[in-house]
Structure 1
């Protein structure tokens, strides 16, 4: 089924029920359906055709949600772009996917104008929200006027194997790549995730993560699929305000990332159970340290905590059933429903429990490939166990225990070779996070003429009295000698990607700059 059909079906089923809550707007299912149909008609009238790519260059706002479903209703492919994206990167995306249109906000129009001047893909239809004074920025059609179009049915003839989404990776190395996801891919992923999270139409899901980040985007997609309510916030910059919103809206689901968990755990005035409505908390983007998991469970005793692992190329791979947290706090669990996850060696052969290898994913949610990038596609999608399929080689190192539960070891290209030994940064980071005076930490390799690479740690303290010697002694008690950091540097904050994930590459660059 094409994904826009979930909105159409739930508008008929739930009508006036609240679908979306933002800081200034509440939209019912009827309203979200009607507005997206009007915008779809306007897009079609402006020349957007089936399978065209349309960029949604907006922050977390109700207009972005309307835009996504309007693009799908028009038979086109939506591509969410983070509102913090600069003009040169936006120009690259416009050119790469030959965007037919951009839906944006007035405050972002200067970046759009600069990107269009740099891009070779022209012409483009651009619709922008109006300025506070009610004016549409020069060079753009009025987004508000588009919403006044007659909500006519767009006959695009599309089916569920058409591309629904083109989502660009963060591009930490080289140019970003466009991950191709069909309606069928999104349907499979959202169904699997909502199954193990036990979501129902009664859920109220909070999302503070960017809609351009697939973890944030799927909160919208899953809510609309179910007929649930999504509370959309722009960020987690002011946690107390978010907590008030959780209480006011009766939020039941709270997706977070490790940096958010670290912020929560640094707050001193929180009492266990202070957010009583929460039914579950989920985490992905990077693994939560076991020490943080334990403290979150103390703060939220009635909420089920889901530790998960995924990547843009298939959305989600694994989850740890909450009842397994006590036995396997360091595990990211088992394959999500209707998925197979297994670990292989360099020859593609499955390895026994305890032996590290690359994680491979089979499932209907695996991407179709990278947009017009066959070489990169072939590295990630390779022949599977059956002659008719391709499977996803994640590039991540894992091991399994005797019962098949998976443990993240590290990125293949993150492994540090020191004194002839291989060190997974995550193993050292887990020990660092267990220190009560450390809020966040990232481990990198530092070139060393004798060792090959020395282990370096960048640390954010929650206790300013902790010293470098304290940290090294702590690590020496829990790690083999060659894994103990030789360099510890303190930071007020760690460098992060647009999605709030600590960036190992940027951390290494800041250390080099400091030298």
Structure 2
């Protein structure tokens, strides 16, 4: 590494920084360990090079150019050295092997090196050569002493001096000025009237209140004190593509730069909802021929504030950009830091005034060292990202193509997303001149290839079940294949557990016996049967019998208040109610009392044609979900959809007769169907936990005793499971799925490390038949949310904007679900009409608006990004806060109610209600009313725990007895 070499005679000078240098220094001070301010490039001289002549030419150029003898210091000043030894290092290319690979490896290592300000020259040259015809010349400068224009002028002057020395001609005179004079002029500007006029201009361009920062969605965090890593994408645009676009723009007085800024702002407007985007625009900062020929740092950056409002036309947006660009160039000397200081940048939580940078590099490298022309010239880019996005238009002389280069911060875009985003930006740029009168919302955001990939490509490899059978038909097939195989095990609720079991033959016979009773009680095909049963063999028997009799089941939560149960029974129109013990609730309702343990028929009844009346096209079950209006919504799911979902699980999870599920999910929660029904379709078995809540140790001890191999969980029970596994390991456990709410990466990582089992993070509303996507968990950064996976078989996932247009990979929007695994609809036709719409991409089919927001990554994995309304997921249960508030308003004297889900400290999240009214009862009476469900509220005042909610809601009073 070359060291400064001051001459013996001339003293060095201490200089302040110019205004443009000071801007760079401020940025370097903010990120002292970053190399984002290193610039330069490379070129490849072809032919022989005289290395002595190359060195002499460089020494002459250093002697005449003050900028090459500047030594900036950390404190904000710089020294001008009288003499320096040019830092040109020679590296021999290997005689054997791949020279290009060697150069690439060297460059990857070289660009990690940092300049140590004040101790070494802030520029470095490297010549990699085979000593004959092949050379690679790399230039690296710290932005404190050189800008992009200066690097081009550096090469021009070096080749000019070299070519003259090589043939003995006089060296052409240096036409540039002294950089120290530019420093003085720059500082004089600060005290001039021009500075005040520029300050006034920029104050008028920017509001007193900063707009929100705009960037692609957050996908992680950079290390503290470090800039995020950078992803780079390049796209060469041929003249055949470029010329029609240029002609269309120029006909309206616009430039390609205008189009680039407009396309970037339009993309952030459509993709992120941005109504104001701050775009950085670099300018040369060189007025007059003298400064254009001077090496050094002159460039400035102007902050353009572009407002792509809804309803604006393409032409209006281009006009706004053009006006901002022209005004910015007229006031380009004003420092960006002054505007940032006036706007109190740090108070706004921003480390930069800019959301993105757009640059134009118009350079010519048609140069040669004597008879050795420079080829493959290119600009170099760093490894760290200062801004979320930075777009550069590179025009190199008379090249047949223009290159677009996009830099994207890793915390906003992955490598594949960056490449796709660059293609989208060019796609938008190309559309602008042909759509000047169109509103911004009309332009197609996606290139055709990406649109096809999102609509068709992500779903083309999914299996489709051509002729699905019902789960009963699948069960009966297994019963005939292995009638003596164990189907069900359970335990008596005694101090010393006593195990019981049923074979497939016994379960077949018992369910047939009950199915015939149901038909005898008047049950017809597609009638609803309500099941008010605890977790027990009776519940499983009732599920099978109801389906065999041609009916559809509705599982009710036995812990629900009587008023709530009565409401759901009335809404459902259930024809029969199966319960363990008839009670006051059931008076006036058609009912059938079902004993818990039998008697089980010892032998099979003779087969008859009506022994299985289930049909794939008929309804299978109903589940009630929380409604925003305070009225629960009944979701109707068909046999066809249910069996398609069970078929995916069986295939993807490789289930076999050796597997055993543990059934511990609250039965009225649809993931319970995974544990209840899936094993019976594959010849496997299930172990029923006793009713009620269980400690982690009791759960894992039960699983260990019965050698459970898979289960369905929500994050809270997954946490409990891991706690219980410390005392009672379950070596048989090989698979679990977790859904219902967001799964923390730390919990997923812990499960994988502690158990060695597979874990699937699943997503999907009740209307999508249990879940719609799944991701096989793997070790994951704990500062990034887990994906929720790709669409399952017979399911399609779209991410659309408010106009139902397809959004690109990586862009957050509304999640719509489609395919034959959707629910048949809701009980109420108006609810169905609001949520289920025709699928525009598959005519004749439907899609469902989930109400969730998310985005698809380039691997097709869905990422959940929250709700677009006030619905929440708590302990796996879907809760509309509006329904809870509606229940609160039924309490005497309550006129206003507000409900939120809050987490206090490290404890679990709970619902909290705030009530107000003119004649409210004392807090103690209200609390008592809430606990008892007074006023028809059906509202439990207690902690929300697994199994406590389904189709109703709970709140808990806040500390100190307040509500």
After TM superposition, the score normalised by the length of structure 2 is 0.41
2:574 to 99, 106, 116: 99
**Aligned partners of 2:508 and 2:853: how far apart in 1?**
43
**Aligned partners of 2:899 and 2:554: how far apart in 1?**
41
Decide whether aligned partners of structure 1 residues 317 and 50 sit closer, same or farther in structure 2, where only a CA change above 3 A counts. Answer: same
Decide whether aligned partners of structure 1 residues 213 and 292 sit closer, same or farther in structure 2, where only a CA change above 3 A counts. Answer: same
1:244 to 698, 701, 714: 701
Decide whether aligned partners of structure 1 residues 187 and 176 sit closer, same or farther in structure 2, where only a CA change above 3 A counts. Answer: same
Shift of 1:102: 0.9
Decide whether aligned partners of structure 1 residues 376 and 498 sit closer, same or farther in structure 2, where only a CA change above 3 A counts. Answer: farther
Decide whether aligned partners of structure 1 residues 100 and 188 sit closer, same or farther in structure 2, where only a CA change above 3 A counts. Answer: same
**Aligned partners of 1:376 and 1:114: how far apart in 2?**
28
The residue aligned with 1:261 is 718
Shift of 1:307: 0.8
**Aligned partners of 1:166 and 1:211: how far apart in 2?**
13
1:295 aligns to 2:761 (yes or no): no
**Aligned partners of 1:65 and 1:9: how far apart in 2?**
17
Decide whether aligned partners of structure 1 residues 33 and 317 sit closer, same or farther in structure 2, where only a CA change above 3 A counts. Answer: same
**Aligned partners of 1:244 and 1:414: how far apart in 2?**
39
1:395 aligns to 2:851 (yes or no): yes
The residue aligned with 1:53 is 528
The residue aligned with 1:459 is 904
Decide whether aligned partners of structure 1 residues 18 and 158 sit closer, same or farther in structure 2, where only a CA change above 3 A counts. Answer: closer
The residue aligned with 2:480 is 12
Decide whether aligned partners of structure 1 residues 461 and 43 sit closer, same or farther in structure 2, where only a CA change above 3 A counts. Answer: same
2:618 to 162, 168, 173: 162
Moved over 6 A (4+): 145-149, 453-456
Native 8 Å contact 2:557 2:667 kept in 1: yes
**Aligned partners of 1:506 and 1:462: how far apart in 2?**
17
Native 8 Å contact 1:284 1:308 kept in 2: yes
The residue aligned with 1:125 is 591
The residue aligned with 1:90 is 565
State the number of aligned residues.
430
**Aligned partners of 1:354 and 1:343: how far apart in 2?**
10
Decide whether aligned partners of structure 1 residues 325 and 31 sit closer, same or farther in structure 2, where only a CA change above 3 A counts. Answer: farther
Native 8 Å contact 2:745 2:781 kept in 1: no
The residue aligned with 2:944 is 495
**DSSP-derived class of the 1:307 partner:** strand
1:62 aligns to 2:537 (yes or no): yes
1:311 aligns to 2:765 (yes or no): yes
**Aligned partners of 1:199 and 1:116: how far apart in 2?**
44
**DSSP-derived class of the 1:22 partner:** strand
Contiguous gaps of at least 5 residues in structure 2: 1-468, 493-499, 882-897, 909-941
**Aligned partners of 2:554 and 2:758: how far apart in 1?**
32
The residue aligned with 2:635 is 179
Native 8 Å contact 1:88 1:115 kept in 2: no
1:360 to 816, 828, 835: 816
1:228 to 659, 676, 684: 684
**Aligned partners of 2:857 and 2:684: how far apart in 1?**
36
Native 8 Å contact 1:253 1:280 kept in 2: yes
Native 8 Å contact 2:549 2:613 kept in 1: no
Decide whether aligned partners of structure 1 residues 460 and 195 sit closer, same or farther in structure 2, where only a CA change above 3 A counts. Answer: farther
1:3 to 465, 471, 480: 471
**DSSP-derived class of the 1:99 partner:** coil
**Aligned partners of 2:726 and 2:607: how far apart in 1?**
51
The residue aligned with 1:484 is none
**Aligned partners of 2:558 and 2:516: how far apart in 1?**
25
Shift of 1:194: 2.3
Larger radius of gyration: 2
Native 8 Å contact 2:506 2:602 kept in 1: no
The 5-angstrom pairing of residues 206-217 of structure 1 reads 206-217=662-673
Shift of 1:508: 8.8
2:741 to 279, 286, 294: 286
Native 8 Å contact 1:38 1:152 kept in 2: no
After TM superposition, the score normalised by the length of structure 1 is 0.75
**Aligned partners of 2:600 and 2:541: how far apart in 1?**
14
**Aligned partners of 2:960 and 2:815: how far apart in 1?**
31
Shift of 1:355: 2.3
**Aligned partners of 1:401 and 1:379: how far apart in 2?**
28
The residue aligned with 1:349 is 805
Moved more, 377-386 or 323-332: 323-332
Moved more, 229-238 or 217-226: 229-238
**Aligned partners of 1:199 and 1:221: how far apart in 2?**
13
1:375 aligns to 2:830 (yes or no): yes
**Aligned partners of 1:171 and 1:23: how far apart in 2?**
37
Deviations 1:173-230 (A, max 9, x none): 5222221112111111111122222222221111201222110122211111111111
**DSSP-derived class of the 1:261 partner:** helix
**Aligned partners of 2:676 and 2:750: how far apart in 1?**
28
Comparing both chains, which one has the higher relative contact order based on Cα–Cα distances under 8 Å and sequence gaps of 6 or more? 1
**Aligned partners of 1:179 and 1:509: how far apart in 2?**
31
Native 8 Å contact 1:262 1:292 kept in 2: yes
Native 8 Å contact 2:696 2:723 kept in 1: no
Native 8 Å contact 1:39 1:147 kept in 2: no
Shift of 1:460: 5.3
**Aligned partners of 2:513 and 2:625: how far apart in 1?**
30
Moved more, 453-462 or 278-287: 453-462
Shift of 1:103: 0.9
Native 8 Å contact 1:320 1:334 kept in 2: yes
The residue aligned with 1:433 is none
Native 8 Å contact 2:515 2:549 kept in 1: yes
Deviations 1:57-76 (A, max 9, x none): 11110011011111111111
Decide whether aligned partners of structure 1 residues 10 and 146 sit closer, same or farther in structure 2, where only a CA change above 3 A counts. Answer: closer
Decide whether aligned partners of structure 1 residues 146 and 210 sit closer, same or farther in structure 2, where only a CA change above 3 A counts. Answer: farther
Q: CA RMSD in A?
A: 3.5
Shift of 1:343: 0.8
The residue aligned with 1:320 is 775
Deviations 1:94-153 (A, max 9, x none): 2222221111112xx32xx32545xxxx5x1322327x9xxxxxxxxxx75999996663
1:333 to 789, 805, 822: 789
**Aligned partners of 2:723 and 2:702: how far apart in 1?**
20
1:79 aligns to 2:567 (yes or no): no
Deviations 1:362-392 (A, max 9, x none): 2221000012x11111122111022211111
**Aligned partners of 1:374 and 1:83: how far apart in 2?**
28
Deviations 1:467-498 (A, max 9, x none): xxxxxxxxxxxxxxxxxxxxxxxxxx953463
Native 8 Å contact 2:506 2:604 kept in 1: no
1:114 aligns to 2:562 (yes or no): no
Native 8 Å contact 1:201 1:226 kept in 2: yes
Native 8 Å contact 1:358 1:396 kept in 2: yes
**DSSP-derived class of the 1:26 partner:** strand
Contiguous gaps of at least 5 residues in structure 1: 133-142, 416-424, 430-441, 445-452, 464-492
Deviations 1:434-464 (A, max 9, x none): xxxxxxxx9x9xxxxxxxx99984235379x
